[in-house]
Amino acid sequence: MNLTIKQQIKTIIIDALKQAMVEGIFPEDLLIPEVQVESPKNPEFGDFATNISFPLTKILKKNPRDIAAILIKYLEKEEIVKKVEVAGAGFINFWIAPSRLHEILQEIDLKGEKYGSSNTGQGKKTIVEFLSANPTGPLHVGHGRGAAIGDIIGNILDFCGYDVTREYYINDVGNQMVKLGASLQSRYLELLGESMPLPEEGYQGEYMIDIARKLYELEGDSCRNKDVLYFKNFAMSEILEDIKQSLLSFGVHFNSWFAESTLYQEDMIKKVLDKLKDMGYTYDANGALWLKTTAFEDDKDRVLIRENQIPTYFTGDIAYHCSKYVRGYELLIDLWGADHHGYINRLKAACLALNYPKESLVILLYQLVSLSRGNQPVSMSTRQGEFVTLTEVIQEVGKDAARFFFCMRKSDAHLDFDLELAKSQSQENPVYYVQYAHARICSILRKAKEAELEIKSYDKINMSVLNLSEELMLLSKMSTLQDEVSGCARSFEPHRLTIYLMELVSIFHNYYNHHRIISSESDVTDARLFLVNGLRIVLKNTLSLLGISAPEEM
């Protein structure tokens, strides 16, 4: 596999350290720390920079600037480097040779829609379970963030060579579902002129009345004497169908819909309890069955079976995750709302008790969304029915803007969603700004075609004319797509792609506003057309990972 420029920089830094060790300048038993290479935000500091001198300071007992000065003597000899210098307290800044940056365009041209991909996942069987909203009401705007982040994480892992399954866990058992059934029963009997109060903490939204009307249209008054289970199943079926349609319009697809009731049908609860008992991690106290989660760094032991002999939600969660392992998944990724933070340690403890590898379970949290309309906060209670649905947001701002905005911040950071900004057609709207860059490039390429200018092959273009600082900055940024995607896969931070896109198109728009792509200079025109076509591919590939369209006209 060809190394990216950033990977090459890491390699030559390691080689320089090893050479200094061979020559006795550094100790031969020096333990080389992890090499960090980043793209400086200020282009005046080069294309890439490393802080490798700082972690070596304590080991070598030298000033970081002195360490950097030693390394530079080796680094400046490398062909990939145009210039290298010590900066600040001991950073090393790199300027890449233009000829190496030009080669990025050839790589983009050859790989096309695969540019930026890798095989770092090596086919690891991975399950991403996300959203999993209880089927008790329509998806609201807060659910949209979990849906977008989970789906994009799946896209990124796919692009990095993982074998990914996206799964939605349906909580179809328990007291909340009984209340759902009772709520529908109450609304249905109202239509028949009968009085039945809503259950305490029942579901009061207008959608329950709509479901009751549909039941009446289909069955008339024949359901008058049906039990709560019948109403629960009908309500859940209707709500799940609504959820699926909302997700379809949002571009989110699940490979698997796993019902909690399956765990009982397959006797998974009993199997898990028996296994935990056999391993000696359970005990009886106060009439309940407990799991010794404190043996695995939880702050207290947890109840598995209550005094009334009903399993806790925690027990079902253990059984569900056990089923994932039984189905052969090697990496389990859960995306939960931040209010579930307290459940992380107990679930990880249970998986450790069952002898599953610690690193095989990754639990990510996302904060909910503040949505304002006219600076007025909107309540999103599914029981009271006062909420803005995901479908309404999509209809107002569009799928693309919604997905981009939901992914603009780190998942565990609070997100303010500005509906008016998301709809605006201006450079202040980041998704418009990014998509407009793609459309602008497509317009350039159409004009070139009308002028009978073809995009020549790489080997027939004089790439040396691409020597403007903006052109080299563009190439440097384009070269890091694979690094960015791989970094997102390692850290499960898809927001890094929205940042990458905004930085990339900012360079492009500035370049376009100051320089003509098509001009009377044929060599320059040929090279710049090849450059912007490469950028078009980079933008389209990155937008595709975000599940966002790359329009050719706007």
Residue 515, classed as helix, strand or coil, is coil
Of all residues in the chain, the percent with pLDDT exceeding 70 is 97
Alpha carbon distance 431, 543 (integer Å):
10
Task: Express the helix, strand and coil content of the chain in percent, nearest 5 each.
Answer: 55, 15, 35
User: Which DSSP string do the residues of 274-308 spell out, in sequence order?
Assistant: HHHHHTT-EEEETTEEEE-GGGGT-SS-EEEE-TT
Task: Give residue 1's pLDDT.
Answer: 52
Asked whether 187 and 195 are in contact (CB, 8 A), the reply is: no
Sign of the alpha-carbon torsion through 211, 217, 219, 222: positive
Is residue 377 scored above 90 in pLDDT?
no
Task: Give residue 383's pLDDT.
Answer: 47
Is residue 92 scored above 70 in pLDDT?
yes
Alpha carbon distance 212, 189 (integer Å):
9
Residue 317, classed as helix, strand or coil, is helix
Task: Give residue 285's pLDDT.
Answer: 97
Residues 35-84 have pLDDT tens digits of 999 999 898 999 999 999 999 999 999 999 999 999 999 999 999 999 99
Per CATH, which fold does 5-96 belong to?
A: Gyrase A; domain 2 (3.30.1360)
In this structure, what are the phi and psi dihedrals at residue 431, rounded to the nearest 5 degrees? -70, -35
Task: Give residue 375's pLDDT.
Answer: 72
| Of 50, 81, 80, residue with least CA distance to 67 | 50
| Of 346, 356, 354, 357, residue with least CA distance to 272 | 354
Task: Mean pLDDT check: name the lowest of 245-254, 270-279, 374-383, 405-414.
Answer: 374-383
Question: Regarding beta strands 256-259 and 369-373, do their DSSP bridges make them parallel or antiparallel, or are they unpaired?
Answer: unpaired
Instruction: Please state the rounded mean pLDDT for residues 243-262.
Output: 97
Alpha carbon distance 226, 210 (integer Å):
19
Is residue 345 scored above 70 in pLDDT?
yes
Extract long-range pairs of 325-331: CB within 8 Å, 24+ residues apart: 325/354, 325/356, 325/360, 327/127, 328/125, 329/125, 329/126, 329/127, 329/165, 330/124, 330/125, 330/126, 330/360, 331/124, 331/125, 331/126, 331/127, 331/162, 331/360, 331/362
Residues 428-467 have pLDDT tens digits of 999 999 999 999 999 999 999 999 999 999 999 999 999 9
Residues 145-189 have pLDDT tens digits of 999 999 999 999 999 999 999 999 999 999 999 999 999 999 999
Q: How far apart are the first and last CA of the chain?
A: 38
Identify the residue with better confidence: 520 or 378.
520
- Beta carbons within 8 Å of 298's beta carbon, 6+ residues apart: 345, 346, 349
pLDDT-based confidence at 376, cuts 50/70/90?
low
Asked whether 407 and 250 are in contact (CB, 8 A), the reply is: no
Is residue 412 scored above 60 in pLDDT?
yes
Question: Regarding beta strands 125-129 and 331-337, do their DSSP bridges make them parallel or antiparallel, or are they unpaired?
Answer: parallel
Task: Give residue 379's pLDDT.
Answer: 62
Alpha carbon distance 447, 38 (integer Å):
37
**In 10 A of CB 162, how many CB atoms?**
23
Look up the CATH superfamily of 101-120+426-545: Isoleucyl-tRNA Synthetase; Domain 1 (1.10.730.10)
Identify the residue with better confidence: 354 or 375.
354
| Exposure string over 169-181, b if 16+ CB within 10 A, otherwise e | bbbbbeeebebbb
Task: Give residue 317's pLDDT.
Answer: 97
**Per-domain boundaries in the chain:** 5-96, 101-120+426-545, 175-234
Task: Give residue 371's pLDDT.
Answer: 80
Task: Provide the CB-side half-sphere exposure for 377 (13 A, CA).
Answer: 6
Of all residues in the chain, the percent with pLDDT exceeding 90 is 92
192 vs 214, 229, 538, CA distance in Å? 13, 19, 60
